[in-house]
Every structure is written in C-alpha cells, then in structure tokens.
Amino acid sequence: MTDRTSPSPSAPSGPPDPPEPVAGALTTAPPRRPLRQLLAASVGNAVEWYDWYAYTFLATYIAGQVFPKSSGNSLVPLLSTFAVFAVGFFMRPVGGLLMGAVADRHGRRAALTVTILLMGGSSLLVGLTPTYAAVGVLAPVVLVLARLLQGLSVGGEFAASTTFLVESAGPGRRGLFSSFQYVSTSAGQLAASGVAAALVSTLGDGQMDGWGWRVPFVLGALLSLVGFWIRRGAYETRSAEQRAAERPGLFDALRHHPRESLLICGITAGGTLAYYTWTSYLPTYAELNAGIDKADALVAGTIALAFFALLQPVGGMLSDRFGRKPLLLFFGLGFALLSVPLLRSLGSSFASLLLVQCAGMVLLTGFTSISAAVNAEVFPARVRAAGIGFPYSLTVAVFGGTAPYVGTLFKETGHAGLFPWYVAVLCLVSSVVYLRLPESAHKELDR
C-alpha cells in the first residue's frame, strides 16, 4: 500500500482540481477539509429548503395573482390544486431517482451542483411568473412547471447531500455530520419564514400583491449562485475506484437491492409522518382542535423549530457513541406511546402548544439527526445515492406530504381524535423495523 505522505513517483497525477485524489492514494479515507464539506452540503441544502418553503409561506399571495377565483376557465382551479398540493411531492421521488443516479454515475459533487442550479432556476421562474391578468392560463402553467422543477431538485438534493455528508465524515463522526441535514433544512425554513414575515410587516397589501411576493424567490435564485460557488470547491467523496468502475444503471439499486429499498421505506415512514406533523401541521392542528390563536401558533412553531435545529448535533454525537438503534427506538417507541397523550393535551394557550411541540421535537431528534447516516449505511457506495433517493422520497410523498391532509380529513369527517392514533401506529410499525436493523454506527462505511 502506498504511503499517503509519500506517493509513488510513477503514480499519475489527478485532475487539475486540487481536491481530487491522485491515483495510488488511499481512497477509503474521508475527504480533507471537513468544515468545507459541511459548509458545501449545509449552505446548499439550506438554500434548497428556503426556496421550497418560501412558496408555502407566500402561497396566498401567489394564488391571488396566478389563480384568480373567478376566471371563467375551468382549467385554472384544476391547475391551482395540482400545483399547490401535488406537483412538488409527486416529483420528489423522480428527483431522488434521477439525481441519485447522477451522483452514483458522475459523482456526488456533480449532482449537488446540478440540484442547486435547478432550484435556483425554478425559484427565479416562480419570481418571474406572469399574472393571470397578463397572460391568462399560461400563468398557472408556468407556475406548475416551476413547482415540477422544485420538486425534482428537492428530491435529488436529499439523495446527493445525504451521501455527500456521510461520506465526508471522519471515523466516529458520521452521525454528527448526518445531523447537519436537518440543521440546514430548519435554517432554510426559518429563513423563508423570516423573509416572508419581514416583507408582510413592511409592505402594504397592495405592494405584496403586486411585486412583494416575488422578492423572496429572486433572492433565493441569487443565494443559489452562492451555494453553487461553494459546492464547486468541495471534495468529491466518491472514490477513484468507484469512478473508474462500470457506471450503475438507473434502476440498479432497486433491481439488485430490493430488500434494502424496502428497508429505507420502513425506516422513513414513521419519521416523515412525525416530522411533517410536528414541524408543519401542528400549528394548524392546534387551531382546528384546540382553538389556539393563529399568531400564537406561528410564534410557537418558530421557537420550536429553532430549538429542534439546535438538538440535531447532540443526537448525531450520541449516536456515534452509543449507536443508531437506541436513538431510533427512542424516537419510534416514544411517539408510539406519547403521540396520543401529547396531542390530546393541547390547550388553547401559547405555553401548552410550545410545550407539546418542543417535547415532540426532542423525540423526533432520535430520527432526524441520524436518518442520513442510517440510510447511507444501508447501501453500498456504487448505488448509494439512487438507492436512498427513490424509496426515501416516495415514502415522504406518501406519508409525510399527506400528513396535513389526513389530519384535516379526520377533522372534517368528525374523527379528529383518530389522527394521533394514526401517527402512533405508523411510528410503532417503524419501531419494529428499527428493532431488526443491525447496528451500523461503528462499522466501516463502504466507499
């Protein structure tokens, strides 16, 4: 084996990009410059989720300009429903598969640069979407296209950044690096909320309806260029041997690793439902079922989300020391036992909602802080990104993306009390999967 510090004189030089390893160097070691690696993944991921959530926070203003209530065209309300509720989540599994394949065939860094440029372009497209008054039905068509591209990008981002983060970690630090997946996701969500709130409080309704709602999306496009620049200087984590090997086909992960693909679904199902319930739907659930004031619900949600982001590295470090299974079971069994009493204890006060939301965030950290590491440790390096991307994004679309609608449906049919049981049962199912998982925290990662 060639000494790392004294490579063979006959070894051919690598590409001109300095981070690329030279032939003959050890390729099983984690990449250099770990802080740069974390920054490349985290900043890009935060920008991705800023763009994604900005649409959610400003959907009311967008609808007023692009989907008028009285248009005389039956296509408009149909396209409105499709764009707002379905397109983004529908495209995430496709993005996970396609961008995961790019990451496996051409490298993680290549996929990361593609996803952030795709998100920047789609964000700019949202910001420049013409009004219905100006171009008619073309306006919602443009917005639907933008959401298609955003969903494709977000699905691909998880596949690429998950593998990139975990493969960038040094020995005994995969859990810690994994935790920054949700640190950056929460940062993007908080930034989108803050920018939207600042604009709404500064501009009048006329200005927000006219041009103010476009500002966050143009800003998101500019931030994407910053993320692109940072990612271009990151170290490629896919080893020289993997890059030289035969490139995997689009469906190789599903065809050759069906058990692992189903395992990703089982690992993710309870976690994604609990995540979207506690981070996105809980304020609305409290308004509908406990009568809490809307403003109080939004403030409590913001505080809880910041608290959640701070918890993630703690969970990652605990998993590196004590293993993945204890944290996963802490999450799964905790939600299975406490979802119903927590949601039933919601009162109409701010303190009640904040306490319930923060309690859930503590439990949720057992899943979110290490999900990237757990998923990456399931698949071999050759098909890791696509192997994670498709089943994970599909499960999120089926269980996570539908959480608000299932909860609202239970309420409308007079069975609001069933929703907490739905969360509890699905988390119990995932707990069974966690019990059967082999402990992988202290095993060497296939590179």
Would you kindly state where each structural domain of the chain is located, as residue ranges?
31-233, 255-447
Q: Rounded CA gap, 406 and 404, in Å?
A: 6
Question: Would you say 146 and 91 are in contact if contact means Cβ atoms under 8 Å apart?
Answer: no
Quote the tokens at residue 151. Answer: 């969903």
Asked if the model's pLDDT at residue 69 lies above 70, the reply is: no
Contact 305, 189 (CB under 8 A): yes
Instruction: Return d(Cα 311, Cα 305) in angstroms, integer.
Output: 10
Q: Please, what is the end-to-end C-alpha distance for the chain in angstroms?
A: 17
Q: How confident is the model at residue 323 (pLDDT cuts 50, 70, 90)?
A: very high
Q: What is the DSSP letter of 3?
A: -
Q: What is the mean pLDDT of the chain?
A: 83
pLDDT of residue 23: 35
Q: Is the pLDDT of residue 106 over 50?
A: yes
Asked whether 235 and 19 are in contact (CB, 8 A), the reply is yes
- Pick the range with the lowest mean pLDDT from 51-65, 254-268, 386-400: 51-65
Q: Establish whether domains 31-233 and 255-447 are of one fold.
A: yes
Residue 373 buriedness (CB in 10 A; 0-12 / 13-18 / 19+): buried
CATH classification code of 255-447: 1.20.1250.20
> For 371-401, what is each residue's pLDDT tens digit?
999 998 988 888 888 889 899 989 988 898 7
Q: How far apart are CA 184 and CA 92, in angstroms?
A: 18
pLDDT tens column, 200-220: 888 877 888 888 889 999 999
Tokens found for residue 82 = 């499709």
pLDDT of residue 243: 64
pLDDT in tens, 341-353: 999 998 888 899 9
**For the whole prediction, is pTM greater than 0.85?**
no
Q: Of 89, 91, 146, whose CA–CA distance to 280 is shortest?
A: 89
pLDDT above 80 (res 152): yes
pLDDT on residue 340: 93
Q: How many residues does the chain have?
A: 447
How many helical (H) and strand (E) elements, i.e. helices and strands, does the chain have?
21, 0
8 Å CB contact between 385 and 108:
yes
Instruction: Quickly state the pLDDT bin for 7 (edges 50, 70, 90).
Output: very low
CB contact burial 244-270 (16+ within 10 A = b; e otherwise)? eeeebeeebbbeebeebbebbbbbbbb
239 vs 99: which has the higher pLDDT:
99
Whether 246 has a pLDDT exceeding 70, the answer reads no
- Cα separation, 21 vs 71, whole angstroms: 59
Helix-strand-coil split of the chain, %, nearest 5: 75, 0, 25
What CATH superfamily is the domain 31-233?
MFS general substrate transporter like domains (1.20.1250.20)
